[in-house]
Chain A
Amino acid sequence: MTGSPDRGVWTLAEIRNGRVHEISGELLAWGRSLADSLGAPLVSVVPESVPDGDLDGLVAWGADVVIVLDSQEGTLPEDLLCPLLARLVRRHKPEIFIASATTTGRTAFSMLYAELETGLTADCTGLRVDEKTGMLLQTRPAIGGNVMATIKTPLHRPQMCTVRPRSMKPLVMDPSRRGRIVRETVEERSFVSRLEVLDSIRDVGRGTPISEADILVVGGRGMGHGGNFRLLEQLADLLGGQVGATRQAVDMGWAPYSSQIGLSGKTVSPRLYISFGVSGAIQHIAGMSTAEKIIAVNRDSDAPIFDVADLGIVGDVGEVLPALIRDMERRSGPCQ
Chain B
Amino acid sequence: MEIAVMIKQVPATDSVKIDPETGTMIRDGLEMEINPLDLHSLEAAVTLRDRAGRGRVTVFTMGPPSALRAVRSALAFGCDRGFLVTDRAFGGSDTLATARTLAAALRKEGPFDMILCGERATDGETGQVGPALGHLLGASVLTYVNDILELGEGYVVVRRAIEGGEQVVRAKLPAQLGVVKELNRPRLTTLRRRQAARETPIPSLTAEDLGLPKERCGLKGSPTQVVSISYPEVTRSCEMIQVGTDVDRAVSVLAEALLKEVAPR
Task: Closest A residue to B131 by CB, please name it.
Answer: A110
Q: Is the interface of B mostly helix, strand, loop or mixed?
A: mixed
Task: Closest A residue to B242 by CB, please name it.
Answer: A314
> B136 and A196: CB pair below 8 A?
no
> A311 and B95: CB pair below 8 A?
no
Which of A16, A201, A202 has most B Cβ within 10 Å?
A201
Q: What sequence of 0s and 1s flags, for each residue 130-161 of chain B, a beta carbon within 8 Å of any chain A beta carbon?
A: 11111110001111100000000000010011
> A110 and B243: CB pair below 8 A?
no
User: Is B228's beta carbon under 8 Å from chain A?
Assistant: yes
B173 to chain A, nearest CB (A): 9
Q: What sequence of 0s and 1s flags, for each residue 205-245 of chain B, a beta carbon within 8 Å of any chain A beta carbon?
A: 00000000000000000111111111110101111111110
Task: Closest B residue to A283 by CB, please name it.
Answer: B13
> Which residues of chain B from 2 to 41 have a CB within 8 Å of any chain A CB?
13-14, 16, 18, 23-25, 27, 36-37
> B164 and A196: CB pair below 8 A?
no
Bound Cα distance A34, B131 (Å): 28
> A148 and B126: CB pair below 8 A?
no
User: Is B182's beta carbon under 8 Å from chain A?
Assistant: yes
A118 to chain B, nearest CB (A): 5
Residues of B within 8 A of A115 (CB): 135
Which of A107, A120, A154, A263 has most B Cβ within 10 Å?
A107
Bound Cα distance A194, B176 (Å): 12
With A120-B128, A147-B229, A263-B122 known to touch, is A239 a contact of B258 (CB < 8 Å)?
yes
Bound Cα distance A263, B125 (Å): 9
Query: Which of A4-12, A41-49, A182-190, A319-327 forms contacts with chain B?
Result: A319-327
User: Is B172's beta carbon under 8 Å from chain A?
Assistant: yes
B2 to chain A, nearest CB (A): 18
> A103 and B168: CB pair below 8 A?
no
Query: Which of B50-58, B72-80, B247-255 forms contacts with chain A?
Result: B247-255
User: Is A173's beta carbon under 8 Å from chain B?
Assistant: no
Bound Cα distance A25, B241 (Å): 39
Residues of B within 8 A of A148 (CB): 229-232
Residues of B within 8 A of A271 (CB): 261
Bound Cα distance A295, B238 (Å): 9
Question: How many CB-defined contacts (below 8 Å) exist between A and B?
Answer: 247
Residues of B within 8 A of A320 (CB): 243, 247, 250-251, 254
Q: Contacting B163 at CB < 8 Å: which of A122, A151, A209, A240? A: A209
> B236 and A150: CB pair below 8 A?
no
> Which residues of chain A from 310 to 333 have a CB within 8 Å of any chain B CB?
310-316, 319-320, 323-324, 327-328, 331
A162 to chain B, nearest CB (A): 9
Q: Which residues of B contact A (CB under 8 A)?
A: 13-14, 16, 18, 23-25, 27, 36-37, 94-96, 99, 122-128, 130-136, 140-144, 157, 160-172, 175, 181-182, 222-232, 234, 236-244, 247-248, 250-255, 257-259, 261-262
Q: Identify 25 residue pairs between A and B in the complex whose beta-carbon atoms are under 8 Å apart, listed by A's number.
A: A79-B140, A103-B160, A107-B144, A142-B125, A146-B232, A147-B25, A148-B230, A149-B229, A151-B227, A153-B224, A195-B170, A195-B171, A196-B170, A201-B168, A215-B262, A258-B161, A264-B37, A294-B236, A295-B257, A301-B242, A313-B241, A313-B250, A328-B255, A328-B259, A331-B259
Knowing that A107-B141, A110-B143, A122-B125 are A-B contacts, what are 18 other residue pairs whose CB atoms are under 8 Å apart, sorted by A's residue number?
A79-B141, A146-B231, A147-B229, A150-B226, A151-B226, A194-B171, A195-B142, A198-B170, A200-B167, A215-B262, A271-B261, A272-B262, A314-B240, A315-B247, A315-B250, A324-B255, A331-B255, A331-B259
In the complex, the 8 A-B pairs of residues with the closest C-beta atoms, listed nearest first? A315-B243, A119-B223, A110-B131, A119-B224, A114-B132, A122-B126, A199-B168, A156-B223
